[in-house]
Structure formats: structure tokens, C-alpha cells
């Protein structure tokens, strides 16, 4: 059940991220062409901004779920397997702390600005939904890392969504 | 405990976190967050990380990153690396060491679309090393030229490293791209000279191959013409002020997709892969950028950089001495850390110092990226060397590091040139 939920979240993030990438690419290209042909697209920057928020949120989930965050292999390649396992637990724990902090800070701000009805200046696109999406991305990332830590502590095998995707393809 | 002392402790805690394998972005962010918590209040620290996270996630200027990454990944999918190597091989292959020169030339051309040293070395290695070995090139020259050649891609725009540097230091990405052109080209020239001299002394290392006809050269050139025109248009437009960096990246990605479709090389599955790869790299870079911004807020609040700056200025150190000192630190860090980690880790500390010392931030950016890239081929980490070893498994690490040595000498001379002649980096940005 949990595997299915994780794979669903990852698929949603992948599709939203891919759609937003293409949308920004097309929108910004059209806006440049429009500007040089004297057919401006007013508000295109505002739409691009919210699409970029979707790219950031989706890509954060995607990179976290697929364990693609960059690490510096200073020590971990030169220690025993047992020490490596211990260090992995510690590193995952620290990752959870910062992800949860960002998540908590984002939630705090949502509550803080809720009554202000933040909008973009030209197209009046409400900002709060994108704050919620960003919060959700960091919170889901934290939950996923928490699950990884639990698996590490209990010695369960970790099936990363990327691995199951590769197996599928 | 004084704030400055907390700053120094934070730096060592961060090294420890990186050493145990904490993802770079998370390690930087955690040290920044905890440091801010102790320095100001936990409530303010929580709000600060929340503000930084969302500000970065919605920053229009940061759109440049996923757009250029998409352009690069689509270009990978269309097989651009082979085409760039073929052109250079057709023109230089008949000379001694010509295929090694072609590898460097191919890396410079492909670097213009990939923006990443590792990616350039990896993709060019797959194409160039088998070709060189087929023509009896010494394994050291074959592997060394590609490992070193990969680093050329980091200065030639659009460069991923320069984009991240521009974001972290709030410098104009367009000006940084302009600044990277001449140093990138001169670096390639230094490498070509290194090959000429090396093969001049030991001709058996890189025997000449049959000379191509002009028809063959023209055919090969035609295959790269579309991507070359796209890169010139995208980067030229940016330098001439026709587009912003984000617009330039979006047009580049759009053009790359169009070229892929016209060539018939971009299938649905390769396009999906390009999108997925772009998302993965984007997510990783966003985490690093957020972490670096949280860390730099802490470092600034701790007053560490002011203290170090004061010490340096009181010691009456010249700009050159400061620069050389920083470069030595980078060489040292480069033995243990990868490029992005070094940049994210050191910019919050070094950037205010170089600003206080009156060193031009654009020039410093070029020197920084150049030094980081030298570390990519320096033992014991030398990421490019490991990538090449992964491709050519029968060539030992020792042989590859040996093959890289002449290029390392060229690198040090080139770095000295960049330090001694700042105009080389600043001429084009000053024209903008």
C-alpha cells in the first residue's frame, strides 16, 4: 500500500514537473518572439514564475524520492560496511531535520499570510496555493526520508521508486 | 560563546556532515538553520528557512537553470557529442595526436551545449576513447585528453557552474557567460599545445590517421551546424541583450527540441528521459542553492567573514596574495570535495572577503570555476578521471592520472595567465 502511494506521488511530481518545464519553455519562447514582433504577452513572467514554483516543488520531490541529491564522498567510501550503514542512518536523520524545518517554516508563513490574499500584480494569480504546494513538497520529502530511516533502523530492504520504475521499463 | 566562534564551529560541523554523506544541500541548510537558531531565535530561524525556501522556489531568474539543463539533456538525446568529435577529427585527425586534439575540440563544442564537465567527459569519452584506441593511441593520452577536455565545458557558456555562481553571488549570468568565453577558448588552446608538445617528444603516443577529404569535412561540419547556430543564437542573443538568461535558456531548450525533431533523433522515450533527467538535476541543484542561501545568512550574521576580511586587510595582503591564498584553499578542498560542494561551501565565506578586498566578482567567478575544474582532474578525488575509468575499465586509474599530468601543467599555466591578465576574463563583459 505504502509503495503504491509513494509511486503515485512520484508519478504526479514527475508529470507536473515535466509539464511545467515544457510550459515555461513554450511560454517564455513565445513571450520573447511576441516582444520582438511587437505582440507582447502581458503577465507571461507571472505565469512563468508560478510554473517555476511547480518545477521547484516537483523536482525537489523527484530528486528526494529517487535519492539523487548530491553527496560528497569524503569518508563513506573508505570505511567498513558497518560504519557506512551507521553513517547513512545519521545522514538520513540530519536530512529529515532540515527538510522538516523548511517544511515547518513554509507552513508558518502560509498561516501568517493567509489573510493577506497575496496575488501577482498583473494577472492576480493567488500565491497561497503555490506556497501550499511548496510546503507539501518539502513535507512529503521529509516523510519519505523518515520512511527510509525507519527501514534503515529495522534493517528492511529499501525499494526506491526509481528502482521500481527502471524495473518496469 | 561569541557569534564568530559559532561561525567557525559551524564550518567544521558542516565538513563533518559532508564527510558522513549528508546530501550537500541538506548539510549546508542544517548548519545554517541551527546556527541561526542559536544566534538569533529558533522562531526567527524557522521563519528564515521558510522564506528562503519559497523565495528560491518562485524566483523567475532561477528558471535559467532548468531551461539550460533541458537544452543540454535534449542535446544528449540527439547524439550531439559524436557529431562534434567527428568534425574535429576530420580536421585534425591526420596530425600526430590529432584525435586527442579532436577530443579536446569536441569537448569544447559539446561543452557549449552540456554546461557540465562531468557530462562532457562522460559523453565524449564514450565516443572518442574507442576511436583513439582503434587507431593505436596510448591509453594514457586517450583517457587523459578526454578527462581534461571535459573541464573545458565548464567555462564555455552556457556553463552550469557559472549559473550557480551567478545565483549564489547575485551576479549577472549574462556577464559571467561573456567572461567565460575567452578563458574557455584559451584553455582549449593550452590543451592543444600540451598535446602537440607531448606527441612531439613521443610521437608513438598518438599516431596520425588518414587525412579526410574536404568533402568529408564539409559533411561532418553540416551535422553540427544546426546546434552550433542554436548555441551562437542563444548565447549571442544573451550577450547582446536581446534576451534575459531565463529567456535564453527557454529558447535554447525550444531550439534543441526542434532540432531533435527535425533530425528524427528525438523519440518519445528519449524526450521523456531528457525531462526526467532535467527534473532530477534541477531538484538536486535547488536543494544546494537553498542550503547555500541559509548557510550564507548564518555566516553573515555570525560576522566570521567580517573578522577574516579585517584580518586580511590589517595584514595588508594584496589582491594577488588573497587570490592565491583562496586558490590554494580550493586546491586543498578539491582533493576531498566535488565542485558543487566546494562552491556552495566556500562562497558564503570567501565572497564577502573578495568584495571587501575590491576583487572583481566576475573575474573571481571565472578563477573559482577554473580552479574547481582543475580539482576535477587532480588526485585523489578527480571526478572526471573516475568517470573516464568507468567508461574505459581496462585503463587503470594510475594510467589516467598519468595521462592527465601534461594537461594539469597546462592548467596551472592557464590559471596563472587568468590571474595575471584579468582582461582576458573582463574584456567581453565590459563590452556589454
**What is the per-residue pLDDT across B180-220, written as a single tens digit (0 to 9) for each?**
999 999 999 999 999 999 988 888 888 887 788 888 888 88
- Average pLDDT of B129-141? 87
Query: Contact, B176 vs B133, CB < 8 A?
Result: no
Residue B115 pLDDT > 70, yes or no? no
Tens digit of each residue's pLDDT (9 = 90 or more) over A57-116: 999 999 999 888 878 766 777 788 888 889 999 999 999 999 999 999 999 999 999 888
- Cell 582576458 maps to which residue? B424
User: A97: nearest CA in chain B?
Assistant: B30
**Angle CA B172–B68–B192, to nearest 5:** 85
Tens digit of each residue's pLDDT (9 = 90 or more) over B45-100: 999 999 999 999 988 888 888 998 898 888 878 777 777 778 888 887 788 888 88
User: Quick one: how far is CA B418 from the chain centroid?
Assistant: 16
When computed from its CA atoms, the radius of gyration of chain A, rounded to whole angstroms, is 20
User: B68: nearest CA in chain A?
Assistant: A25
Residue B97 sits at φ, ψ, to 5 deg, of 75, 15
Q: Which residue has the higher pLDDT, B351 or A110?
A: A110
- Grid cell locating B367: 578563477
Query: Contact, B366 vs B417, CB < 8 A?
Result: no
The whole-angstrom separation of Cα B384 and Cα B149 is 10
User: A29: nearest CA in chain B?
Assistant: B251
Closest alpha carbon to B380 in B353, B411, B402, B401 = B401
Name A119's bridge partners: A126
- Average pLDDT of B21-47? 92
What percentage of chain B exceeds 70 in pLDDT? 98
Q: Which of A41-55, B83-97, B110-124, B134-148 has the highest mean pLDDT?
A: A41-55
- To test the contact with chain A by mutation, choose from B287, B294, B342 the residue with the greatest count of A C-beta atoms within 10 A, namely B287
pLDDT for the residue B366: 94
pLDDT for the residue A93: 96
Closest alpha carbon to A18 in B421, B69, B173 = B69
Cβ-nearest to B278 among A21, A71, A74 = A21
B63 vs A: CB within 8 A: yes
Using CB atoms and an 8 Å cut-off, which of residues 189-248 of chain B contact chain A? 242-243, 246-247
pLDDT for the residue B53: 94
Residue A167 pLDDT > 60, yes or no? no
Distance from CA of B59 to the nearest CA of A (A): 7
Here the ipTM equals 0.91
Distance from CA of A1 to the nearest CA of B (A): 25
Residue A135 pLDDT > 90, yes or no? yes
The pTM (predicted TM-score) of the whole model is 0.85
Query: Contact, B150 vs B114, CB < 8 A?
Result: no
Chain A residues closer than 8 Å to B343 by CB = none
For residue B158, is the peptide bond before it cis, meaning its omega torsion is within 30 degrees of 0? yes
Instruction: Tell me if A63 and B48 make a contact (CB, 8 A cut-off).
Output: no
Closest alpha carbon to B366 in B114, B87, B129, B171 = B171
Residue A166 pLDDT > 60, yes or no? no
Chain A residues closer than 8 Å to B56 by CB = 56
Instruction: Tell me if A104 and B242 make a contact (CB, 8 A cut-off).
Output: no
Instruction: Tell me if A28 and B279 make a contact (CB, 8 A cut-off).
Output: no
Distance from CA of B131 to the nearest CA of A (A): 31
Cβ burial of B411 (10 Å; 0-12, 13-18, 19+) is buried
A2 vs B: CB within 8 A: no
Residue B362 pLDDT > 90, yes or no? yes
Distance from CA of A132 to the nearest CA of B (A): 10
Q: How many A/B residue pairs have CB atoms within 8 Å?
A: 211
Chain A residues closer than 8 Å to B397 by CB = none
Amino acid at each position: 500500500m505504502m509503495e503504491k502511494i509513494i509511486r503515485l506521488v512520484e508519478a504526479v511530481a514527475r508529470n507536473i514537473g515535466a509539464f511545467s518545464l515544457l510550459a515555461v519553455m513554450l511560454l517564455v519562447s513565445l513571450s520573447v518572439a511576441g516582444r520582438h514582433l511587437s505582440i507582447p504577452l502581458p503577465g507571461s513572467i507571472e505565469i512563468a514564475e508560478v510554473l517555476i514554483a511547480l518545477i521547484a516543488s516537483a523536482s525537489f520531490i523527484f530528486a528526494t524520492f529517487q535519492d539523487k541529491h548530491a553527496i560528497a564522498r569524503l569518508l563513506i567510501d573508505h570505511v567498513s560496511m558497518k560504519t557506512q550503514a551507521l553513517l547513512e542512518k545519521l545522514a538520513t536523520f540530519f536530512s529529515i531535520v532540515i527538510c522538516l524545518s523548511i517544511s515547518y517554516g513554509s507552513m508558518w508563513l502560509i498561516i501568517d499570510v493567509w489573510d493577506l490574499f497575496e496575488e501577482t500584480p498583473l494577472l492576480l494569480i493567488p500565491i497561497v496555493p503555490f506556497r501550499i504546494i511548496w510546503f507539501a513538497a518539502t513535507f512529503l520529502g521529509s516523510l519519505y526520508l523518515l520512511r527510509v530511516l525507519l527501514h534503515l533502523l529495522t534493517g528492511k530492504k529499501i525499494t526506491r521508486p526509481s528502482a521500481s520504475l527502471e524495473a518496469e521499463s | 560563546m561569541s557569534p564568530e566562534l559559532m561561525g567557525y564551529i559551524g564550518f567544521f560541523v558542516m565538513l563533518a556532515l559532508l564527510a558522513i554523506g549528508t546530501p550537500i544541500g541538506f548539510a549546508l541548510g542544517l548548519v545554517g538553520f541551527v546556527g541561526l537558531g542559536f544566534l538569533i531565535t529558533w522562531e526567527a530561524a524557522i521563519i528564515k528557512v521558510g522564506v528562503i525556501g519559497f523565495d528560491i522556489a518562485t524566483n523567475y531568474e532561477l528558471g535559467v537553470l532548468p531551461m539550460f539543463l533541458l537544452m543540454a539533456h535534449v542535446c544528449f538525446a540527439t547524439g550531439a557529442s559524436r557529431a562534434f568529435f567527428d568534425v574535429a577529427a576530420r580536421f585534425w585527425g591526420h596530425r600526430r595526436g590529432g584525435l586527442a586534439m579532436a577530443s579536446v575540440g569536441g569537448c569544447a563544442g559539446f561543452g557549449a551545449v552540456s554546461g557540465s564537465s562531468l557530462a562532457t567527459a562522460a559523453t565524449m569519452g564514450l565516443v572518442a576513447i574507442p576511436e583513439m584506441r582503434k587507431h593505436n593511441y596510448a591509453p594514457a593520452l586517450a583517457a587523459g585528453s578526454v578527462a581534461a577536455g571535459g573541464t573545458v565545458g565548464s567555462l564555455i557558456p552556457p556553463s552550469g557552474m557559472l549559473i550557480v555562481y551567478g545565483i549564489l553571488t547575485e551576479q549577472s549570468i549574462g556577464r559571467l557567460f561573456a567572461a567565460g568565453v575567452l578563458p574557455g577558448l584559451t584553455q582549449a588552446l593550452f590543451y592543444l599545445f600540451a598535446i602537440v608538445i607531448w606527441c612531439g617528444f613521443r610521437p608513438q603516443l598518438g599516431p596520425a590517421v588518414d587525412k579526410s577529404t574536404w568533402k568529408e569535412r564539409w559533411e561532418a561540419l553540416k551535422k553540427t551546424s544546426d546546434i552550433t547556430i542554436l548555441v551562437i543564437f542563444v548565447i549571442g542573443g544573451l550577450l547582446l541583450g536581446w534576451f534575459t538568461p531565463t529567456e535564453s535558456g527557454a529558447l535554447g531548450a525550444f531550439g534543441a527540441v526542434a532540432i531533435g525533431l527535425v533530425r528524427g533523433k528525438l523519440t518519445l522515450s528519449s524526450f521523456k528521459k531528457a525531462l526526467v533527467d532535467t527534473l532530477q538535476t534541477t531538484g538536486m541543484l535547488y536543494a544546494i542553492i537553498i542550503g547555500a542561501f541559509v548557510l550564507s545568512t548564518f555566516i553573515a550574521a555570525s560576522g566570521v567573514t567580517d573578522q577574516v576580511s579585517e584580518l586580511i586587510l590589517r595584514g595588508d595582503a594584496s589582491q594577488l596574495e588573497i587570490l592565491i591564498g583562496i586558490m590554494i584553499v580550493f586546491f586543498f578542498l578539491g582533493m576531498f570535495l566535488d565542485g558543487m560542494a566546494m562552491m556552495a561551501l566556500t562562497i558564503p565565506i570567501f565572497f564577502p572577503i573578495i568584495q571587501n578586498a575590491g576583487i572583481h566578482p566576475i573575474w573571481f567567478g571565472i578563477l573559482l570555476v577554473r580552479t574547481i575544474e582543475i580539482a576535477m582532474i587532480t588526485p585523489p578525488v578527480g571526478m572526471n578521471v573516475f568517470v573516464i575509468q568507468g567508461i574505459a575499465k581496462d585503463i587503470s586509474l594510475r594510467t589516467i592520472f598519468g595521462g592527465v599530468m601534461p594537461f594539469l601543467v597546462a592548467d596551472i599555466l592557464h590559471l596563472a595567465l587568468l590571474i595575471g591578465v584579468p582582461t582576458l576574463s573582463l574584456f567581453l563583459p565590459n563590452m556589454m
